[in-house]
Amino acid sequence: MSISPPQLADQKPAPVLYLASASARRRLLLQEHGVAHVAAAPGVDDGELKPGRVSPEQWVAALAYLKARAGLERLMRGSNRRARSVSEGFPEHGGTPTVEDDGRWHGVVLGADTVVVKDGEIIGQPRDKEHAGWIVRRLESGSHDVVSGVALLGPGDGERLLLVDRSRVTVGAIGDARIESYLASEDWRGKAGAYNFSERIADGWPIACEGDETTVMGLPMRRLTPILTSLGVASSARGASEATPC
């Protein structure tokens, strides 16, 4: 699912990218690709939401849009106070004013969501240790898909973009002892499919993927980077051909 980048009206030469996410992995991906940004949790608890009868692509696109919209609303509440910085809504912002004399803020909000798909079932983040163990054992010795969705919203009506990417991940035999050690570490918390791809490689897990590795990590940078560059928010981004494949 892809929509051509819109023309965001009256943007500054270097609009601010607001990441509506508390994910350290997504922040790191943006940093590694030279994308200047600020970040804050969108205030959306999607853990209680159920996919229903939709495809994984539709689900992550919907959640990404929901998060971006929540982030946009926080920014708009700040912009209504005209003279203030949006740092009240995005506390990690350095205090640089982003609200112009016309009362509008100038930037792009990014929301994202990632799920694992195993045998057609959508698997999100584990609820607890027991659930994490069930997920890891289900993914062991087999292949699954990872689907990441991204929503980009500008301040004007209709200024939005949605994209979804999918990669294939294969996991070998991990073994009960290593699984129990992993569960005890609690490194599974807050991660779709109960794992982080790069961390599991570093820890020696038998894991590999086909497609864009960054899609598995939470942001499909191979496709996203050139879009951000076209919108003027990427300061020194690598081209799409340079994004890391699996």
pLDDT digits (tens, 9 = 90+) for 108-154: 999 999 999 999 999 999 999 999 999 999 999 999 999 999 999 98
Of residues 98, 61, 63, 56, the one with CA closest to residue 81: 98
Domains in the chain: ranges and CATH: 16-240 (3.90.950.10)
pLDDT of 96 higher than 60: no
Q: pLDDT tens digits for 12-64?
A: 456 789 999 988 999 999 999 999 898 888 877 666 667 678 999 999 999 99
Of residues 37, 61, 34, the one with CA closest to residue 163: 61
* Alpha carbon 172 to chain centroid, angstroms: 26
pTM of the model: 0.80
Catalytic site includes residue 113: yes
Active-site residue identified among 113, 145, 165, 212:
113
